[in-house]
C-alpha cells in the first residue's frame, strides 16, 4: 500500500471535481462554498454512514434515500449553511440542489448525494446556490478547490489517498474531509467524501465502510458534540477494472481505513482552538466494546483536556474518566503511562518526576496508554486539548 501526494477525490480514476463561490459563506465574495464531485463512469456504487443525532439535517435525509438505492453518480455540497432545522423548505432546498447537480451531470437527481455544513437554523440562499451549481467546471484538477469549498472554521483542507495492489492489479482510494468543531462523530459538522476506482458493489462496501468509520472517524473528538450533518460517503466506480475479490478484502479495507484515518486525524489536528492532539490507547480490556468506550471517554473528558492544555500532570483524571466510561475497570489491575512514563501501575501510584510529565503535556502530540489488565482487547482514540480559543470561536460563531 503506497501513500501518494495530491488529488484526493480525483486520485481514483474516473472522478472529477470542481467548486465555485456562490455567496453562501459571505455574499459578494470570492470564497469557494459550493462543490461538486462526480464519477465519469456510469455505474458507480455507493455506501454511506450518517450522524446518529436525532436532529438530522435535510441534506442527510435526502442523501439517505438516494444512497439506499446503492448507486450515486455525484455529490453536491455547500458550506456556510447547514440546512438543518429549516423545516419542510429545507428538504425542498436539498432536493433542488440534487436537481441542479443532476442537470449539470445529466443524470437523475436520485443519483446525487447532497451535503451541507455551516450555521444551523438559517434558510438556504437558493437564489444564489442553484445557478452556482450550474457554473461548476469539473476536472481532475478540481480536487483542491473542492477540498477548500467545504471548509467552515477549518484552517486547512484535509486530503488523503492510497494506492493498493490487489490480486488483479492496483486500485486507488482518495478523499477529502472538513471538520473543526462539533466533532464527536457517532456515525456516523463533519463531512468526508471518499472515492475509489475499485470494482466493488455496495453490499461489500457498506460493512467495510462501517468498520473503517469505527476505527477512525468514530474514534476522534474535539468537543464531544455530534453534529446534525455528519456524513461519510464512498463512491466506487470500478474504472480500474480491478475487482475486490474475497482474498483482496483485507488489503482493500486496510487502505480504506488508512485514508479515513488520515482524514480523521487531520480533522483533530485542525480542531477549533486546538494546540495539542493526544492519542489514548486502551489495552487489556475485557472486550472490544469496553476498549473503545474507555478510550473515547478519556479523549472527551474536559478535565483531561484542560489538564493537557495547561500541562498539569494530574494523571488521576485519566483513570477516573476510564472508570466512569461504562467499561469494566478494576483499579487494582489498571496501569497508566503518559509518554512512556509510568504514573500508575497495577493499582498503585508510581514515583515519577512531575516536570517530566509536564514536558510530555507541552508537546503538540501526546501518547497515553491505559492498561486495564482484564483481557486482550485494545482500541485507540484521538482527542484534543480544550483552550480559551475554542470558547472564543464558538461564542462568536454567528456574529
Q: What confidence tens digit (pLDDT) does each residue in 112-137 have?
A: 999 999 888 999 999 999 999 999 99
Intrachain domains 2-269 and 277-395 with the same fold:
no
Listed range (4-8, 18-22, 252-256, 276-280) with the worst mean pLDDT: 4-8
Q: With a cut of 60, say whether residue 203 has pLDDT above it.
A: yes
Question: Within the chain, what is the greatest distance between any pair of CA atoms?
Answer: 68
| Predicted local confidence at residue 54, as pLDDT | 75
| Predicted local confidence at residue 186, as pLDDT | 47
Across 357-362, average pLDDT: 95
pLDDT in tens, 274-293: 888 899 999 999 999 999 99
Q: With a cut of 90, say whether residue 256 has pLDDT above it.
A: yes
**Distances, alpha carbon 374 to alpha carbons 298, 309, 315, 318, in Å:** 18, 30, 20, 17
Paired with 27 in beta bridges are none
CA 349, distance to chain mean position in Å, is 37
Q: What pTM was computed for the model?
A: 0.83
What's the CA gap between 314 and 396, in Å, rounded? 31
* Residue among 149, 147, 193 at smallest CA distance from 20: 149
SS3 133: helix
* Residue among 352, 391, 350, 344 at smallest CA distance from 368: 344
CATH classification (class only), 2-269: alpha beta
CB 47, CB 195: distance < 8 Å: no
Q: With a cut of 90, say whether residue 185 has pLDDT above it.
A: no
**Which of the two residues, 244 and 3, has the higher pLDDT score?**
244
Across 222-235, average pLDDT: 74
**Which of the two residues, 199 and 277, has the higher pLDDT score?**
199
Across 160-176, average pLDDT: 97
| Predicted local confidence at residue 273, as pLDDT | 72
Here the contacts of 322-325 (C-beta below 8 Å, separation 24 or greater) are 322/282, 322/294, 322/297, 322/298, 322/370, 322/372, 324/297, 325/293, 325/294, 325/296, 325/297, 325/298
| Predicted local confidence at residue 155, as pLDDT | 85
**Distances, alpha carbon 42 to alpha carbons 14, 111, 175, 236, 237, in Å:** 10, 11, 20, 11, 8
Q: With a cut of 90, say whether residue 168 has pLDDT above it.
A: yes
Grid cell 446525487 in the structure block, residue? 112
* Residue among 383, 387, 335, 337 at smallest CA distance from 360: 337
**Distances, alpha carbon 47 to alpha carbons 44, 65, 171, 398, in Å:** 10, 12, 18, 33
Across 254-258, average pLDDT: 97
Q: With a cut of 70, say whether residue 215 has pLDDT above it.
A: yes
Domain ranges of the chain: 2-269, 277-395
**Which of the two residues, 396 and 65, has the higher pLDDT score?**
65
Just list the catalytic residues.
189
pLDDT in tens, 62-93: 999 999 999 999 999 999 999 999 999 999 99
Tell me the HSE value of 346 on the side-chain side, using a 13 A CA sphere.
0
Judging by DSSP bridges, how do beta strands 191-196 and 231-236 pair with one another? parallel
Paired with 113 in beta bridges are 75
Paired with 172 in beta bridges are 163
| Predicted local confidence at residue 187, as pLDDT | 40
CB 161, CB 147: distance < 8 Å: no
Listed range (47-56, 183-192, 355-364) with the worst mean pLDDT: 183-192
CATH of 277-395, picked from 3.40.50.2000, 3.90.1150.10, 3.40.50.720, 3.10.20.340, is 3.10.20.340
> Residue 2's pLDDT band (boundaries 50, 70, 90)?
low
What's the chain's average pLDDT?
Answer: 90
CA R_g for the chain: 22
Amino acid at each position: 500500500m503506497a501513500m501518494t501526494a495530491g488529488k484526493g477525490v480525483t486520485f481514483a480514476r474516473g472522478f472529477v471535481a470542481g467548486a465555485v463561490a456562490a455567496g453562501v459563506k459571505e455574499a459578494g465574495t470570492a470564497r469557494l462554498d459550493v462543490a461538486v464531485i462526480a464519477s465519469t463512469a456510469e455505474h458507480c456504487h455507493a455506501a454511506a454512514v450518517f450522524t446518529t443525532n436525532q436532529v438530522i439535517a435535510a441534506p442527510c435525509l435526502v442523501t439517505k434515500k438516494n444512497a439506499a438505492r446503492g448507486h450515486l453518480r455525484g455529490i453536491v455540497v455547500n458550506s456556510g449553511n447547514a440546512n438543518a432545522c429549516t423545516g419542510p423548505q429545507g428538504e425542498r432546498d436539498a432536493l433542488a440542489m440534487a436537481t441542479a447537480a443532476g442537470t449539470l451531470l445529466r443524470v437523475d437527481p436520485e443519483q446525487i448525494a447532497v451535503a451541507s455544513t455551516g450555521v444551523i437554523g438559517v434558510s438556504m440562499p437558493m437564489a444564489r446556490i442553484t445557478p452556482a451549481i450550474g457554473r461548476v467546471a469539473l476536472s481532475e484538477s478540481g480536487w483542491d478547490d473542492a477540498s477548500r469549498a467545504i471548509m467552515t472554521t477549518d484552517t486547512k483542507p484535509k486530503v488523503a489517498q492510497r494506492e493498493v495492489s490487489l490480486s488483479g492489479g492496483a486500485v486507488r482510494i482518495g478523499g477529502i474531509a472538513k471538520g473543526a468543531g462539533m466533532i464527536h462523530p457517532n456515525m456516523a459538522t463533519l463531512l468526508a467524501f471518499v472515492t475509489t476506482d475499485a470494482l466493488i458493489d455496495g453490499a461489500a462496501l457498506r460493512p467495510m465502510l462501517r468498520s473503517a468509520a469505527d476505527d477512525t472517524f468514530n474514534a476522534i473528538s474535539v468537543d464531544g458534540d455530534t453534529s446534525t450533518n455528519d456524513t461519510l460517503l464512498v463512491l466506487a466506480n470500478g474504472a480500474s477494472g480491478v475487482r475486490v475479490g474475497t482474498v483482496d478484502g483485507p488489503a482493500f479495507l486496510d487502505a480504506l481505513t488508512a485514508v479515513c484515518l488520515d482524514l480523521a486525524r487531520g480533522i483533530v489536528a485542525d480542531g477549533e482552538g486546538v494546540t495539542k492532539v493526544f492519542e489514548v490507547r486502551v489495552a487489556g480490556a475485557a472486550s472490544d466494546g469496553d476498549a473503545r468506550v474507555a478510550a473515547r471517554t478519556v479523549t472527551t473528558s474536559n478535565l483531561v483536556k484542560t489538564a493537557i492544555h495547561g500541562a498539569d500532570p494530574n494523571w488521576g483524571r485519566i483513570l477516573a474518566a476510564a472508570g466512569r466510561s461504562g467499561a469494566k475497570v478494576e483499579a487494582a489491575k489498571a496501569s497508566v503511562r503518559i509518554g512512556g512514563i509510568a504514573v500508575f501501575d497495577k493499582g498503585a501510584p508510581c514515583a515519577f518526576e512531575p516536570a517530566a510529565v509536564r514536558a510530555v503535556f507541552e508537546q503538540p502530540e501526546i501518547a497515553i496508554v491505559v492498561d486495564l489488565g482484564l483481557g486482550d482487547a485494545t482500541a485507540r482514540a484521538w482527542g484534543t486539548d480544550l483552550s480559551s480559543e475554542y470558547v472564543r470561536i464558538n461564542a462568536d460563531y454567528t456574529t
